[in-house]
């Protein structure tokens, strides 16, 4: 709730200064804004939890750790329901950038390269200095870990209050390319011995390159013979279920709608009916699109649900950002679309990071700095703004609480959609994962009889 209140202070301040101005001019008001926040909120540590990047709106979460989080500390209580939050992760410090990139480029679920075991680390090393510079410009590391802790803490607090019969709850973080890793998360889960584990993807829209990669890694973890023997010896047995996609979740949709409406109010009144909404999502290699990945369809579903509730009052487009590596990616690219629409006479643009639920480098640097500042600096634009991600917005937290609650009530451990491999996918690892999921489903059904 604290971060949401801060954003409201920012919104009110910006509204008072909402005359037409370029994004670079907005940057000049940072000192005054921070002074106002300190005066109103009386928080001496505000600069540690609020990072304002050229737009007076981008924030990073207050740092928390699982072990220091009262809401997530089960103490002497037995954990009944574990929430495993799956995500890609990000480098906490500049020193973590190269290892993060190396793991990223070695994963052929997210990007496929020839001679990947050699070329992946080579590309990672070549890109490290450039990427490290970007992280240094947003505070020296990714805020993703802090935001995930923040969201997990609020989720557990609400679940323990709303559905105590399924508690105590505890959240765990399982990142794909950084610590805490999926293996580290399961080691802690095995120590806590919960009755149920819910693998909860932090990507609202399913993608084989993200959620699928985490599931492939999970399947390998449990299919390891030594791990199976260890689990048997420890008598560690829990019921495992999956929330693999939630593109139409009420909290996701409603929080974005409120955030969009708040941003629209910051445009000059006589320009609001001319605002162009650009929903920007992380791009996907065409090799993944062409085998039948559902990600583009699910992102489109989120966009259309939002626009339906906005009654299509504004023109809009879905665009794609963050391509990386020497392969072809889904188009049109966000930066090219921005330039194209400005050339066609559009002067008021609102970027909406529709595939991101929390702030990280793709929003704080790519959108805020590279596009909203540097790209448009010499272009004839009246105003360009970037909508915040849901982060700890109350409506969003309500939505994921509802999502977990309904998942438990449904009794569906593994959705039929998750068991379906992409039609043109010939990857053995994906077949192995589906086989593992099917066997797990049958095993758990037999145990429930």
Residue pLDDT, tens place only, 382-403 = 999 999 999 999 999 999 999 9
pLDDT at position 231 is 55
The SS3 of residue 123 is: helix
Q: Which of 433, 393, 438, 434 is nearest to 413 (CA)?
A: 438
pLDDT at position 233 is 52
pLDDT at position 29 is 44
182 and 103 Cβ atoms separated by less than 8 Å: no
Q: How far apart are CA 125 and CA 119, in angstroms?
A: 10
Contacts of 422 (CB under 8 A, 6+ apart): 208, 291, 292, 293, 294, 430
Q: Which of 379, 205, 210, 356 is nearest to 294 (CA)?
A: 205
Q: How far apart are CA 260 and CA 262, in angstroms?
A: 5
294 and 418 Cβ atoms separated by less than 8 Å: no
Q: Which helix (H) or strand (E) holds 205?
A: none
Which CATH number is correct for 248-387, 3.20.20.70, 3.40.50.720, 1.10.630.10, 3.40.50.1400? 3.40.50.1400
pLDDT at position 229 is 61
The per-residue DSSP string of 156-169 comes to: HHHHHHH-GGG--E
402-416 per-residue burial string, b: 16 or more CB within 10 A, e: under 16: bbbeebbeeeebbbe
Under CATH, which architecture does the 66-90+142-245+396-448 domain have?
3-Layer(aba) Sandwich (3.40)
- Annotated domain spans of the chain: 66-90+142-245+396-448, 248-387
66-90+142-245+396-448 with 248-387: one CATH topology?
yes
Low-confidence ranges of the chain (pLDDT < 50): 1-68, 76, 235
237-248 per-residue burial string, b: 16 or more CB within 10 A, e: under 16: ebebbbbbbbbe
pLDDT at position 3 is 44
pLDDT at position 341 is 98
pLDDT at position 236 is 56
pLDDT at position 42 is 33
């Amino acid at each position: 709730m604290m971060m949401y209140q801060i954003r409201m202070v920012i919104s009110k301040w910006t509204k008072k200064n909402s005359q037409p101005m370029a994004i670079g001019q907005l940057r000049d008001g940072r000192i005054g804004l921070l002074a106002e926040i300190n005066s109103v909120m009386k928080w001496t540590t505000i600069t540690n939890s609020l990072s304002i990047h050229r737009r007076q709106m981008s924030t990073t979460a207050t740092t928390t750790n699982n072990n220091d989080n009262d809401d997530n500390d089960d103490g002497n209580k037995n954990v009944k329901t574990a929430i495993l939050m799956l995500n890609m992760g990000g480098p906490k410090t500049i020193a973590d950038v190269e290892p993060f990139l190396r793991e990223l480029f070695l994963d052929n679920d997210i990007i496929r390269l020839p001679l990947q075991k050699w070329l992946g680390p080579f590309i990672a090393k070549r890109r490290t200095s450039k990427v490290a510079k970007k992280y240094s410009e947003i505070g020296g590391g990714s805020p993703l870990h802090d935001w995930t802790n923040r969201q997990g803490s609020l989720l557990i607090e609400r679940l323990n209050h709303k559905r105590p019969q399924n508690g105590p709850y505890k959240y765990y973080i399982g990142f794909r390319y950084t610590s805490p890793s999926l293996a580290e998360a399961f080691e802690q889960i095995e120590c806590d011995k919960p009755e149920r584990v819910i693998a909860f993807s932090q990507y609202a829209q399913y993608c084989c390159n993200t959620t699928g990669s985490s599931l492939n890694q999970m399947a390998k973890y449990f299919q390891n013979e030594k791990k199976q023997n260890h689990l048997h010896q420890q008598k560690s047995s829990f019921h495992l279920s999956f929330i693999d996609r939630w593109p139409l979740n009420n909290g996701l949709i409603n929080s974005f709608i409120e955030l969009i409406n708040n941003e629209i109010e910051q445009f000059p009144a006589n320009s609001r009916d001319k605002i162009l909404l650009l929903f920007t999502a992380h791009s996907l290699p065409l090799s993944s699109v062409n085998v039948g990945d559902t990600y583009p369809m699910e992102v489109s579903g989120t966009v259309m649900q939002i626009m339906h509730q906005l009654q299509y009052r504004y023109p809009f487009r879905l665009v794609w950002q963050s391509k990386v590596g020497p392969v072809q990616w889904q188009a049109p690219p966000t930066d090219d679309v921005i330039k194209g629409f400005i050339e066609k006479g559009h002067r008021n643009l609102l970027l909406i990071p529709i595939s991101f639920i929390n702030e990280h480098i793709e929003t704080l640097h790519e959108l805020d700095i590279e596009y909203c500042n540097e790209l448009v600096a010499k272009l004839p634009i009246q105003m360009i703004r970037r909508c915040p991600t849901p982060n700890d917005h109350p409506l969003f937290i309500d939505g994921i609480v509802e999502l977990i609650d309904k998942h438990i009530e449904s009794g569906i451990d593994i959705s039929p959609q998750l068991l379906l491999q992409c039609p043109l996918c010939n990857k053995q690892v994906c077949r192995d994962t589906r086989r593992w999921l099917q066997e797990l489903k049958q095993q758990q059904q037999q145990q429930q009889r």
